[in-house]
Structure 1
C-alpha cells in the first residue's frame, strides 16, 4: 500500500502516526471515478523548500480515454504548498506551463507565490500526500486530526462520485473527505431555510445574482467560498477556496466537492482552534473589516417610495413625535432625475429644499444616505456623468471594442469598469461634484451583481424609453450568447435553473480594461465598486466612510457593510435573516442587517412588531420596504411603536458596547453578532441553535420568530444569565428554558463574568454620547467568589482610521473580583486624555450576583453612601458617583 510522504522532515514524529486513507498501488480506487474521468493526476516530480516550509511539485495526467465531457485535461499541473503562518497553510494548483486567471492582488492583497516567505517556526499544520493518484491531506499537528483530505477512498460506497483532482480549462473539481461528525457553516450567499449549520445532500451555488433573498436555496448577491468546520471536542478550522469563478459546492454524507468553472485551485487552511481564532486568521489574509462610523450603529429608516422631500421630511418628524430613535434617513432612487446617478429630480427634490432638509438633519445630529446604481444612462446627451465616463473611456467593452449596452432603471446604460485605472478617479470626481450640492453622509451601492434587465452581447436601442423598468426593451438578437463562456459545458444551477451565466447580467464575453472577460471577474464587480466607493467617500468627506453594498466577495468587509437584500415580510423571512446575518460575520463582514419588517410583500402588525425586536440588535439596523407595498414605518402601529421604543431604547444604551465591538472587529476580525458556538465552542448543543444569537460573547438575544407567540423555547449555555430588562436570572447547566415573550418584549440576557458599559438612551446617537456611563458587573449567582472583566473603546466615531492614539482615543479596561462577599471593581486606562477632554462621567454601577443586603461601599478608599436600587433577586444599582471616566478608580464593597 502506498503511504503519504511527509515533506516536513522536522515534523515526521508528529505526522507519521496520522491514519490517512490508503490508496492501492495498483490504482484500484473508486470505480465511479474511473468511469467519469478515465484518468488521474500523478505526482511526477517534487522540490522541497530549503527552509522546510513547503514544496513545489509537478503533476502529470494519465488517461485511458481521450473522450471527456468537460474538455481536455491540462497537463502538466503545478502544485505549490506553503506554510505562510503558524496557523495558515496554502495549497495552490494551476497550469504548469501557462498563467491562469486568479483574483487580482489589487483587489485582495496577499502574499505572492513568487515572494520569499519568512521562516515559520513550529508550524501547527502539516500536509501529507499520495503520488498515484495525487491527493493531499492537511493535518492539525497537535492531535493528528485530518482537516482536509482529497485522497479518493478505496472502501465504502462504490457509487461515491469522489474525484481527487480534475483540472480543465473550464472545469475544476476537487473533493475532501469529511467525518460524519463534522459541523460545517458558511458557503454563501443564499437564504437558508435549514438553519445555520449546513445540511448534507445539498448543493450550494456561488454566483453573484440579482435575485431577491425572498427566494431560498438559490445563488444570491455575492460569492463567499469559505467555510468553518467544527469537530468533536470544540476544535474549529476554516477552509477558503480563493477563486472568483462560478462554482458549485456539493455537500454529501462524508465528503465535500468543489466544481469550479475556471481559474485556479487556491486553498487556504486556517487552524483555529476556536471559531474566533479562525475568523481572526481568515481576516488577516483577506482584510480586516472596515471600521464603521459611530452614527451608523443608530437606527436607519428607508423606503423606495419617498417620492419627494416633503414625504421624506415628514417621516423624520413622525419618528421624533413617536419618540422612536432615528439616526439616519435614506432615500432610494426616488430622488434621481429619471433614475440617473448623481442627479436630482428638480420638481420633487429641488436642490434648495433638499439641501435645507439635509442641513436640518445634520443640525439635529442625524445623517443622510443616498443610493447609487452602477448603470450610467446613455439616453441623455447632456448628462455630465455619462459624458465624462466616455471621455475617460471607463465603460465595459464588447469584444470589438464598442461599449457594452445594458438596461436597468434609467433605461439603456453603460456599465463602469472598476478595473480600469481611470474609473476610480472618475467615480471620485462624480461623488465630489454631487456631494458639493448635497452633503450626504453615506453611499448605498445597489444592483452591482452586475444587474441587467437584458440578456445578450449585441443589444441595441431604438431611442425610445418605455415606462417598464424591469422588462428588457432593448433589441437583443441571439438573447443568450451561445459561447463556451455564456453556456459552458458544465452548467452550475444558476438561479435555481440552468440558465446561461449571462442571464440578466453582463454577457460573459464582455471585456474589462486588461482584456479579462466577465466570465472570470463577474463575482468581483461588487467588490471592485465597493473599493472605489470607499475611497471616494473617504476623500470627499475626509471622515470615516460608510458604504453599503449589495454584492460582494471574499474581502468585501474591508470596504463595505452589507444587508440581506430583498427579503419578504413573513416570519420565515425574519428567521432566515438571522441565519444570513450570522453567516456574514463568519465571512468577515460584521456590519450586517436585514430590511426590518420585510422589503417585499405586505406586512402585518405582528411581523413588524417582532422584527424590530430582532433588528434592534443586529449591527446594521435599518427598516426598508418596497414602493409596491404599503408603508411599514414603525410608528404606524401603536404596538410596534412601543416595541421599538423598548428594543431600540436598550440598543441605544448598548451603543458604547456595539462601538467597542466595532473596534474589536477592525483589529481582530471578530463578528459583532455571533452564533452561540463562537463563545461556547465546547458545548455541542450550540451547534444546532439557529435563531438565537450573541452580541459579542456575553449578550444573548432570544427572539420570537413565529406568529401569535407569547412564549419561546431558548437554549442557555452553562452559567448564570440575567435578563437586561428586569434583571431576573436564569441558572443553566446547558439546557433549554421556556421563556415568557409578551408581544412588547424580546428576551435579552447577559452572561456572568462580564463588565458591560452602558450609557443612557436618547433619540440619536450623538445625544447618547453626552450621557453618563453605568457599568454592569456580572457575577455568577450565589457564588462566594468570581471574576468579571470588560473594556470600552472611545473616540470621536468619525476618524478615518480607528486606532489608539493620545488625544484621539481612549481604551478603558475594567476588572472586578468577588471573594466571600467582598468585592472590588477597578479601571485602568490607555490614553486617558481623550476621555477626560470629552468629559465622560461614570455615574453608576450595577452589581449582579451579589448579596444586596447591608452592603457598604468605598470609592477610592473613601467610604460612600450612594443612591441604591434593588434589581431583581441579586442585583443592586448604585448611582450618583459623578466621577470622570478618564481617571482610574477603585470601588470596593462588602456584604453581610
Structure 2
C-alpha cells in the first residue's frame, strides 16, 4: 500500500505479480477461502483471473458445492466480528433495487468464504428494515447508476453469477426486468473482495472516515459507504452523519480513563469513531450519533407546581443497572427559579440531606419557558424576554443507571464561572476542560479535584444577562466543558436535581442561589481582624512571644492560632503539659487585650490508647459515633496521631459527643473559634488500615477523574457505613457536617456567634463556617490564584474566605510577603500562616521597612472595617457577595469578563494588587465612569480602559467608584478597640453629583442581632450638594459612635460655605476637588444634613 497526503480520500492497492497462483492444485484451489484466493489473484491479468475462477467453479460444480445452496462453515471469532460489520454494509444494498436482490440471492450460493459469512450473519445483530446503504461506482469510462435494494432479508455477494440460477429465480418471481448489465456485477465483485481484505488486514485502528474513503485499484473505481443510522447494538453509524458533526459538538461516548479507546471498543457502544489530529486535543474520538437511544417522555401532566412525566428507556445502555423508568418533575418554584428533578420512578435513591426551600404554589409570572422533546427525551429552557436558550439537553442522550448518570446541555456563551473547588482562572475554560468533584486532601494545583465540592455555575449570555445552574448532588462527578459551548454533567450516584436561577444580572443570580442553599452566617466582628498562625511554634511561650512583639510594634492583630503541635501526640482535645503548659495563661492574656484564640481540631480520633485512657475514643465507641466498615466495626485509618477512627457527623449522637469533648477542653483552654482541618476526610492510607472490600462501591463501572484514580485514594473506603448513607454517597459532605456540629457546639459553649474555618466545604456551608484555600505555596503564582479562590467562594455562599498570606509551604521572600500582606489585607478572612521548619513569616520576622509596609496595609484594613462589616451584614441578610468580580458590577462590559487580577469589595472599592516580583507599577482596568484615588481623591474618568498605575513597595492601589459612600473608622490594633473610635465618611460623587451608601452596626458578637432587631442601620445619600444621613433602625450601640469627618470627592468648585444641621462649619478644599469637613462629632443614632454651596 502507498501512503497518501493528509486529506486524501483514497488508498491505492498496488498490483503485485504472483507466479504461483496458476500452479495451485485442485484441492488447494477449492478449499481456500475468498480472502486467500484474492491474495493469489494479485498481479494476474484479467484473463488469468477469469481462467482461474472458471477452473475453481468447474471443480466446485463437480461435487464440492451445489447450485444456489449456502454451505455453513465455522468462522474465527475475530473474523466474524469484522465481517459482521461488512455484512451490515452489504445487507444495506438490498434496499436499492428489487432486481439486484434476485442477482445477489444467486451470487451468495457460489463462494465458500461468503457462505461462511452468511452463516455468521445468522448469529449476529440484524439491521433494521428501514436502513439504507448507498454504493456509488465510478469507473474510468462511465458512471454506474446507484443501486437501491431492500434489506428485509440478508444477502451475500458471490463474484460468479450463475445465469441459469438467475433465470430460474426470475421465473419463480415472475416477469422481472434486469436493469443492470452483468458488467456492473463484475465491476462490483473485486470491490467487495478487496473490501474484505482491507477490513481484515488493514481496517483495525483506522478511523471511520478512512474506511469510508478508500480507493481501490483493480478496475479503477471509488467506493463511498454511507453506513446506516442505528441504535444500541447495531455497531455502526451513518458515516456521513458522524463526520458532519462538528468537532466541538461531539459528546464523549467513551469517557473511561483506564483504557485506550479503539474503533472496536467504540463500535461496541454503537457510537461514531473518528480519530483527530493532535491539533484538536481533547476532541473525543468516540462520540454519540444523533439518534443514539435515550429515554422517551410519556404521560406528561400538569401539577400545582409545574409538570410531571414518565421517562422510559428504549434500549439497554453499556453501563449496568439501567433505570428503565424515571420520574420527571418540573417545578415552577418562583418567577426567577426553576427546579427540575429526574429520579427513579419505582425505587428510593439517595438524595443530599440539606435543607432547601419547599415551594407551595406555582410561579405566576416566570421569567422562563420550558419546551420538551418527547422521543428522544430532552428539555429546552429559554429566557422568556429574549428567547435565549439557557438549557438544551437534546444535544446528547440522557443516561440514568444505578452508578452512572449523565446529561449534557448547550451553553449560551463561553463565559462560565464557578464549578469549584478547583485551581484555575476565574473564567472557566471551555476548551475540553474536565472538572472533577470529590473532596480531596491535596496541595492546591491545577487540573485536580480539591478540598470542596460546589456544582454550581454562573453563565453570561450574549446580551450580558446572566443565569445560574446548581446540581444538588454529592456523589463523585465530572463536569466536561467543550467549545460548542456545551457542558456535560456525569455523576455516579444520587439523582439529577437541578435549580436554574434567572438573574438577570450576576449579583441577582448569586442571591437566588443562596435562597436555596441558605444565607451565610453573620461573622463575629473580631473574625474580620488580622489572624496569625504557624505550624511549629513549638511551645505556648514561643507563641506568646510573637503576640507580644506584634503588640509592641503596634501591629494590628485580633486572633492568635495554634496548629497541631500544641497537642499531645497530635490527639484532639489535649494540649502538651510540658511544651504548652502556659497555654491557658496565654489565652487569658489575649482576652485581656481584646484578642481571641483559635486552635486546630482534626476529625480523626486516635484509637491506639489503652482502654480507659482516652475519653474521646472510649466514649465514641460506647455511643457508636464512628464510621463503620461493612462488618459493622469502626473503620480504622491513619492520620497524624497514628491509627484513628472517623466520627460520623451525619449522626446526631456524634454532634452531642463532639460538643461534650469541646466543652471539656474549653474549660481548660477557653478558645474562641475552631479551625477544622483534614475533613475531606483525609487519610494517610487508601481506605483503611485493613483495606477495603472489592465491590461495586469501591470499584464503580465508571470512576470520575479523581486524584489517585480510585475513590478511596487518601480517604476512607467508599463502602464505609454512615448514618445517612454509605460513604460513597456522603463523602463530600464530611466537611459540611463537621462544620455544622462545630458551629452548634460553639454556640452552646460561648453563647456568641460561632467562628469556624473549614478546609472541606459543600453548598450551604456558609451558614456554619468560613473557608481557607488550603496548603498553598510561597510563590507569586499562588498569590494570584488566591484571588480566583475568594471570588469563587463568595459565589458559593461562603464569603468568609482567604488564603494563607505569604504562603504555607516553602520559604517566602520579603518582597513577596509585603505584596501578599497588602493583598491579604483585602481577603475577607485575613490570616498569615506557614509550615513547620521554614523560616518565620509573621510581620515581625522582616526588616523595619517591611514591617512598616505590612503595618500600613493592616491599618488600612482596620480603617475600612465599618464598610467590610456592613458588606458581611448584607451578605447575611440579602445574599450579596463581599469580595466581588468586576464583571458582577459591569456585565455589559466584555473587557471585565476575564479579569481576575483585580476585584471589588462590594460594589464600590476597587482593589488592584501587585502580583509580580520587582514590579513598581501595574496596569489596571477601569470600567467606564469616574474613579477616585482612595488616598488622594484624584478623579479619573474612564471610557473603559487599562491604565498604568504607580505601585511602590509600600502601596496597594485602591479606587472608589463614582456614586459610592463608604463608612470608615479611625483604626486601632484590634477591632474591639477600633469599634469605639470616630467614623469617617468617604463620598465619591457621580457625574450627576449623587451618591449613596449605608452602615450596619451592632455589638459585633451577640447572636441574631438583626433577627432580634438589636442593631443600627443608617442610609447615606447625596443629591444637589446635600448629604443626608437617615437612621433606618437604631439600638444603644449607636449612641457610643460619632461621625467625625466627611470627605467628598468630586466637588467641582470650591464651596463658599458648608452647613451642618443648619449651622455653619469650617472646611477645607483641595485642588483635587476634595471637600473635607472635620470635627463634626455627630452621633450615629441621630440623622444629620450637610450641605455646601
TM-score normalised per structure 2 = 0.73
Q: 1:638-657 maps to which residues of 2 (within 5 A)? A: 638=847, 639-657=849-867
Q: Distance in 1 between matches of 2:489 and 2:464?
A: 26
Cα deviation, 1:379-401, whole Å, max 9, x if unaligned, reads 22301111111121100001111
Q: Deviations over 1:85-105 (max 9, x none)?
A: 11110111111111111101x
* CA deviation map 1:341-373 (0-9, x unaligned): 1111000112xx221111111110111101100
Note if 1:845 corresponds to 2:1046: yes
Decide which of 295, 299, 305 is 1:46's aligned counterpart: 299
Q: Indicate yes or no: 2:1076 matched with 1:877.
A: yes
Match in the other structure for 1:679: 889
- Report the Cα distance in structure 1 between the residues aligned to 2:972 and 2:1069, rounded to whole angstroms: 22
Superposed CA offset, 1:31-86 (max 9, x none) = 576516795333342342244x42111111112xx561x32421011111101111
Using the alignment, how far apart are the partners of 2:664 and 2:587 within structure 1?
A: 16
Which residue does the alignment assign to 2:721?
A: 511
2:390 to 133, 147, 151: 147
Q: Secondary structure of the residue that 1:40 maps to in structure 2?
A: coil
* Partners of 1:110 and 1:853 in 2: CA distance: 55
Cα distance, 1:484 vs. partner? 2.1
Distance in 1, Cα, partners of 2:346 & 2:603: 37
Give 1:456's match in structure 2, choosing from 674, 683, 687: 687
Superposition pairs of residues 349-364 of structure 1, within 5 angstroms: 349-350=580-581, 353-364=582-593
Partner of 1:612: helix, strand, or coil?
A: helix
**1:435-454 correspondence runs (5 A):** 435-454=666-685
1:643-678: CA deviation from partner (whole Å, max 9, x where unpaired): 211211111011011100010001121111010011
CA deviations over 1:208-234 (Å, ceiling 9, x no partner): 001011x22210001110000011222
Of residues 371, 374, 378 in structure 1, which corresponds to 2:600? 371
Cα distance in 2 for partners of 1:707, 1:605 equals 11
1:233-268 CA-to-partner distances (Å, cap 9, x unmatched) read 220100001100000101001111111111111111
SS state at 1:786 partner: coil
**CA separation of 1:746/1:44 partners in 2, compared to 1, >3 Å: closer, same or farther?**
closer
Q: The residue matched to 1:225 in structure 2 has which SS?
A: strand
The secondary structure found in structure 2 opposite 1:489 is coil
Instruction: Sort the Cα spacing of 1:67 and 1:697 in 2 relative to 1 into closer, same or farther, 3 A.
Output: closer
Separation in structure 2 between the aligned mates of residue 730 and residue 635 of structure 1, nearest angstrom: 37
2:426/2:791 contact within 8 Å kept: no
Determine the structure 2 residue equivalent to 1:485.
697
Tell me which residue corresponds to 2:469.
239
**8 Å Cα contact 2:719/2:727 also seen in 1:** yes
C-alpha distance in structure 1 between counterparts of 2:303 and 2:473, whole Å: 29
* Residue 198 in structure 1 maps to residue 441 in structure 2: no
The answer to whether structure 1 residue 613 and structure 2 residue 822 are counterparts is: yes
Distance of 1:67 and 1:85 partners within structure 2? 36
Deviations 1:540-589 (A, max 9, x none): 11000001010011111111100100001110000011111111111111
* Structure 1 residue 854: Cα displacement: 4.4
Q: State the shift of 1:482 in Å.
A: 3.5
User: Higher Cα Rg: structure 1 or 2?
Assistant: 2
Once the two structures are superposed, residues 315-340 of structure 1 have per-residue CA deviations (whole angstroms, 9 ceiling, x without a partner) of 11111122221011001111111111
Work out which of the residue numbers 560, 563, 566 in structure 2 matches 1:329: 560
Checking the alignment, whether the CA contact within 8 Å between 1:293 and 1:797 is kept in structure 2 is yes
* Cα distance in 2, alignment partners of residues 836 and 494 from structure 1: 52
Matched, 1:817 2:1023: yes
CA contact (8 A) 2:1055 2:1092 kept: no
Aligned match for 1:786, one of 993, 998, 1017? 993
2:403 paired with 1:170: yes
Counterparts in 2 of 1:44 and 1:186: CA distance versus 1, 3 Å: closer
Give the direction of change, closer, same or farther, for the CA distance of 1:383–1:480 in structure 2 (3 Å limit). closer
Q: Deviations over 1:667-713 (max 9, x none)?
A: 12111101001111111111011110000000000011111111111
Q: Which residue of 2 aligns with 1:126?
A: 369
What does the per-residue CA deviation read over 1:294-335, in whole Å, with 9 as the maximum and x for residues that have no partner? 011100001001111111111111111222210110011111
Alpha carbons 1:197, 1:688 under 8 Å: kept: no
* Residue 799 (1) aligns with residue 1006 (2): yes
Q: List alignment gaps of at least 5 residues for structure 2.
A: 1-228, 232-236, 243-249, 254-269, 272-286
* Matching residue within 293, 310, 318 for 1:58: 310
Aligned counterparts of 1:67 and 1:888: Cα–Cα separation in 2: 70
Moved more, 728-737 or 617-626: 728-737
- Give the conservation status (yes or no) of the 8 Å contact 1:43–1:57: no
Aligned to 2:184: none
| Residues 291 and 802, structure 1, Cα contact 8 Å, conserved in 2 | no
> 2:449 aligns to what SS in structure 1?
coil
Matches of 1:886 and 1:805, distance apart in 2:
18
CA distance in structure 2 between the partners assigned to 1:267 and 1:559 by the alignment: 23
Bigger fraction of residues in strand? 1
Cα deviation for residue 642 of structure 1 reads: 1.9
TM-aligned CA deviation for residue 172 of structure 1:
0.7
> Of Structure 1 and Structure 2, which has the larger fraction of its residues in helix?
2
Shift of 1:199: 4.1
The 5 Å alignment of 1:726-745 reads 726-745=936-955
Match of 1:312 among 528, 543, 567: 543
Contact 2:295 2:398 in 1 (8 A): no
Partner of residue 811, structure 2: 602
Looking at structure 1, the residues matched to 715 and 703 of structure 2 have their Cα atoms a distance apart, in angstroms, of 16
Aligned-partner SS, 2:915: coil
Cross-structure match for 1:636: 845
The 2-side partners of 1:197 and 1:646 are apart by 35
Equivalent in the alignment of 2:1029: 827
Match of 1:73 in 2: 322
